A and B are shown apart, each in its own frame.
Chain A
């Protein structure tokens, strides 16, 4: 395609991306550099149903005057990025100098909200992504081997976890794993431990969230692999069969190499999605044991009566940086392969 016609083809989506993705990111970045004006506090007398009292409140007029002069607030540079609720440079440095041994240092760093969330986010990403790919492939191979009549219904039921809204899906599972729910109660009987609770211990909460993540995303990779399986060349398969390749060898040396581009595709999508894990943490009420970067953003914006826009913007920018770092190796690889093919 000529460069010119390519440009005209892509212009509408390019314009939409610029308007709805690039510009908002710029705006979020600008917001992350500012903090709110100093609030002018005054002591006044408040009265209510339960009596009167001297209390501190904001001098609205004085504060509004400052806001009108500079609506964005005070410029803070990268101050929000390095404060305790984000990268916490000062706290990490203090932990390094005072820590007795690496374990103590790690413990102190993991006590900081950003690193705690980052640890879970990365663990979730790197455990759920490969499992989703493996399980998806396994289901696709299984469904592909079914007799024709059963395929339709099986595909439909396999897709259900993805069709269910994430929050609803996690809430349903949350109630099922309750000590009085069907899964929770069965596990207690199975392991003969009346105190077993999937919600209480950090390890079990993490495992529950991982299982949920795999359950929710496996249909996506299944359907992509299933579509890919339909295009595996019959003659290569037949040639392999004539050469006496077993079912496993055909899978290993014909099907899997043929599906590599799909694996890359699913990996890219899953890395991005899993790095932004959020709904299961809310659905499972798991924030005591597991927080993610997206959950921190939510908490800054919706966790209280007042919002921390600068803080939320900072975490958003750090999430974007994180996604970029995660995707770089995969993208580099794809780029190299693309170049090799072009030559």
Chain B
């Protein structure tokens, strides 16, 4: 009798595991391509839990994902059934028509998704967002107190505070942002320019519109800020600024929100730094009301060139990856957009930035060439080798040449 019960219980347990293992699916192949950082590893692990019972789950998590995705999804059948993308990296997939609309799948399985997770383009749901990111201000409350300045809310305040810190002899280079020549520097210009509220392109065209007084003001603000940075600033990427912060060499910095968790944890830094680090919203500047930052989301898309069965399996597996349980287990790994998320200390900055009217990073087909042109042409100005007008003219010329080659301009 007792033995029977045990056997029955064992069989039930087996049944329920296999049902759970397949996430209620009868079969299909799930192949994930994504960037590689802890939050996405947690998502992929959740999707992998659906493996079994005819469902296969494999993943390729690499920082080179952007360079793989177009070629991999162009193949038929596609190498990956889902590509995890951000606002900028979804653009080439849209331009080449490589991802499918998700409306049917959302209607069938997406009961737990929140409205703001649905990335809708031309009326069709093309991606499911699950986390957000933005650059915002980090500051050290103890050093600001020592210099006798209040917490800055504008970049003019940041400049004044940096000057006060320098004048008090506390630090010579109290401020930093990610100004490494290339993508990082381009991102800083775009963030700062967003604070002016001016458009980057002439409406309805691919003609760039930054070569004006807003562009000049943006450049001058960046130059004023880097005057308080270490002279190595043109080599500063996220890893460099995070290391400087954790070493206690900075009093204020504009860094990615996604670094908040790593900065506040007990690794790589001292108690004196982590206990006084405050994550606050992105500053405004020049009397504007829009914070000088851009909002980014990360989400998943489903490839077009795969069978409907695989697409459904992938969608269900990825939903399992972004489940409320996953969020509760990894609450501080990211700023999640998922139901059940309780924003912690590391999310303060991004939350504040998002709630104060920051614009999302422009999801425009010709944003990539402009970003590259900005990243490559601005370092001469920041080094004092050319005027702001010349730098902007260079950006415009470099962008126009690339955009012509891509067919956006004639």
Contacts and interface: CB of A to CB of B under 8 A. Distances in A.
Interface string B355-371: 00011101111001101
B132 A47 contact: no
A49 B94 contact: no
Nearest to A314: B405
B372 interface: yes
B25 interface: no
B354 A303 contact: no
Interface in B268-306: 295, 297
Contacts of B402: 85, 308, 311
Of B91, B116, B402, most buried by chain A (CB within 10 Å of CB) is B402
Interface stretch (B7-15, B209-217, B256-264, B375-383): B375-383
Interface of A: 35-39, 41-50, 52-53, 55-58, 60-61, 63-64, 73-74, 80, 83-85, 91, 111, 113, 178-180, 194-195, 197, 199-202, 284-289, 299, 302-306, 308, 310-311
Contact of A45 (B123, B172, B205, B362): B123
B369 A306 contact: yes
B405 A44 contact: no
B230 A44 contact: no
B92 A306 contact: yes
A160 B364 CA distance: 48
Given A56-B206, A84-B397, A197 B407 contact: no
Interface of B: 66-67, 87-89, 91-92, 94-97, 116-123, 129, 132, 172, 180-183, 201, 204-206, 230-235, 237, 247, 295, 297, 337, 354, 358-360, 362-365, 368-369, 371-372, 375-376, 379-380, 383, 386, 390, 394, 397-398, 400-402, 404-408, 410
Contact of B95 (A74, A199, A302, A306): A306
Nearest to B367: A305
A55 B364 contact: yes
A318 B364 CA distance: 32
21 contacts: A35-B406, A41-B365, A46-B121, A47-B120, A47-B121, A50-B116, A56-B204, A56-B365, A58-B94, A61-B97, A83-B405, A85-B398, A85-B402, A200-B232, A201-B231, A285-B235, A303-B372, A303-B375, A304-B368, A308-B369, A311-B405
Given A83-B401, A285-B181, A285-B235, A74 B407 contact: yes
Report the 5 A-B pairs with minimum CB-CB distance, sorted nearest first: A47-B120, A200-B231, A288-B379, A44-B122, A288-B181
Contacts of B231: 195, 197, 199-201
Nearest to B295: A50
A48 B204 contact: no
Nearest to B201: A56
B398 A35 contact: no
A39 B97 contact: no
A111 B234 contact: no
B360 A48 contact: yes
